[in-house]
Structure 1
């Protein structure tokens, strides 16, 4: 079940007001594949509360001098580590319960 924070219902203007980012900055982060809004039938971008939090985090990293490429690179590395941990955990659980694939 998804949380209300996952619902993409917020327009770019409201996101801009909430984050202090310009609409252009928000679109730039989308172009850089850091944020993924959905599009309504009228092609309006829609964001979630999680997206708003993510944009604030991105803006803080940019302010600290971290570039968008470095943000993506770090996130990919973290995702890879998490996937490796999950595979290892599944293997340990399978071994403990003698589950064979």
Structure 2
């Protein structure tokens, strides 16, 4: 794991604690993993480890489920949002390259 990872992204929370924080059962949490809505890391012993960002995501998923949104729809929305973020990152890099080229800025090797 990278040292500069923010505390929100560090996967250090066990499934039991996540269950307590979210009010979801461990089975529900594992189900959301099966549906590819959440991606915990595994410890060397195989235990699931979650981040604070995962906890927030699980709460968001639970709220959507209470509103009647299906897991498939949630997954599609998440993929769409991920693509949007990737496109934004690409546009930013292209813009930076154009600005650097325009003003003769050399990229460090």
Same-fold call, TM cutoff 0.5: yes
User: Distance in 1 between the 2:52 and 2:88 partners?
Assistant: 28
Residues 2-36 of structure 1 deviation map (CA, whole Å, 9 limit, x = unaligned): 12222222211111111100111000001011111
How high is the TM-score relative to the length of structure 2? Answer: 0.80
Q: Pick the aligned partner of 1:41 from 21, 41, 44.
A: 44
Residues 1:14 and 2:17 aligned together: yes
Q: Pick the aligned partner of 2:65 from 43, 55, 62.
A: 62
**Paired residue for 2:106?**
none
**Paired residue for 1:28?**
31
How high is the TM-score relative to the length of structure 1? Answer: 0.86
What are the residue-to-residue correspondences of 1:68-87 with 2, within 5 Å? 68-87=71-90
Q: Pick the aligned partner of 1:94 from 85, 94, 97.
A: 97
Secondary structure of 1:46 counterpart: strand
- Quote the RMSD (CA, aligned, Å): 1.6
Shift >4 Å, 4+ stretches: none
Q: How many residues align?
A: 99
Residues 36-90 of structure 1 deviation map (CA, whole Å, 9 limit, x = unaligned): 1122222221111111111111101111111111111111112212222222222
User: Distance in 1 between the 2:77 and 2:99 partners?
Assistant: 33
**Paired residue for 2:105?**
none
